[in-house]
Structure 1
Amino acid sequence: MKKVLLSLLVAGSLALPHAVRAQAPVPVNYTEQVVVEGAGRSALYTRALNWAEHKFTYAPTTALVADPTKSVIRVTGTGKLKPVDARGQDQSLIVLFTFRFQATDNGYSYQVSSFEVVPDPKAPSQKVPLEEYQAELRASRNNAKTFNDRRLGAQATSLASEAAMSFRSFMNSQPANDHVGVADEQLGAQ
């Protein structure tokens, strides 16, 4: 019975298309659109700018761009991912990501995306999109032991969720009559 079951499993996995088995990395992206009644565009923008300048904990930050005429904020944050080596020891890898905010007359939207890995800390200007770095890891011979491609995708997803929750928590800490609820929420990751 075990041999028959094993044979069926092997045959089933071979029947799957190669693209399904390979599972190409999906870009890490957290996007949310929030409907707010009673708070003006300017007030929402001011709150978000306060968070970006004082509460955004993913330092060092770069490229803080604030445009009050368009109610847009963009900031690049820094985080760490931890792949493992062939022996299972944690390594440290710097990752950069972008937080974007847009206030509207009906609320606001924000996005945590554009993850880029800095493979060599001695050359911080050399950045590789996370998906490309995951593809390189998938091709390495140690990936069957370490699963670093999936590990980094999960860690980046967690980082995006943390940043989004920090922002949303800050925005929700404002007076309750300003905030109504979520219109659309989407979390995409590997």
Structure 2
Amino acid sequence: MKKVLLGLLVSGMLALAPEVKAQADAPAPIEYSERVPADGAGKTALYRRALDWTQNKFAYGPKSGMKADEGTGTVRVTGTSKVKRVDNKGKDQEVTVLFDFVFRANDNGYEYTVGSFRVVPDPKQPSQIITFDEYRTELRADKNNEKTHNERRLTAQTSSLASEAAMSFRSYMNSTPAEGHVGVAGGEH
């Protein structure tokens, strides 16, 4: 019985091996998205809270493309950050990364996405922007990628950036301002 189970286990692993290799060749786009139920909060209150975060707490500037629509409960903004690659001599080089934060509220909660990553590969040409996947393909094709590991390095940093922005937003949304009084009401001992 043990030999049969072991044989099936090994066969299954071998059958899945080609799929794993195919997935490694084409990395998934970097994105963080979440749907959050919010009982009783209301679409307008959620929208206003998200708008406040994007206007006052969004730490990825300069920000651009700010669009907000209270009627549909949507907020959208493009953020900017830096990631670091290394050159052939092992020195850090900053690369500008742009990404979109998109928020949608409804009567049952909200959903948000941190994604659509783009790269400004040459700081001297800030208008030249390519998708992160295109940039990752260029890094993978670089003859020094085996030494610098820039493809993996930038993928990890960008994934971390998406997660960090999402955690910041979710933390803000979860910290609802206190209403009413805290402690002993005036004059009572």
TM-score, structure 2 normalization: 0.81
Moved over 3 A (4+): 15-22
For the structure 1 residues 85 and 102, does the alpha-carbon distance in structure 2 shift closer, same or farther, using more than 3 Å as the test?
A: same
For the structure 1 residues 66 and 18, does the alpha-carbon distance in structure 2 shift closer, same or farther, using more than 3 Å as the test?
A: closer
Deviation string, structure 1 residues 55-75 (Cα, Å, up to 9, x no partner): 000000000000111100000
CA contact (8 A) 1:81 1:93 kept: yes
Structure 2 residue identity aligned to 1:169: S
Q: 2:119 aligns with which of 96, 117, 120?
A: 117
Q: 1:85 aligns with which of 84, 87, 93?
A: 87
Greater relative contact order (CA < 8 Å, ≥ 6 in sequence): 1
1:115 match: secondary structure = strand
Deviation at 1:122, TM superposition (A): 2.0
Q: Which has the larger radius of gyration?
A: 2
Deviation at 1:84, TM superposition (A): 0.7
Equivalent residues in 2 for 1:137-156, closer than 5 Å: 137-156=139-158
Q: 2:26 aligns with which of 24, 27, 33?
A: 24
Q: Which moved more, 1:153-162 or 1:120-129?
A: 120-129
- 1:52 alignment counterpart: 54
Deviation at 1:88, TM superposition (A): 1.7
Is residue 158 from structure 1 mapped to residue 160 from structure 2 by the alignment?
A: yes
In percent, how many aligned pairs have the same letter?
56
- State the Cα RMSD in Å: 2.0
How many residue pairs get aligned? The number is: 164
Q: 2:39 aligns with which of 21, 37, 41?
A: 37
- 1:101 alignment counterpart: 103
Q: Which moved more, 1:37-46 or 1:80-89?
A: 80-89
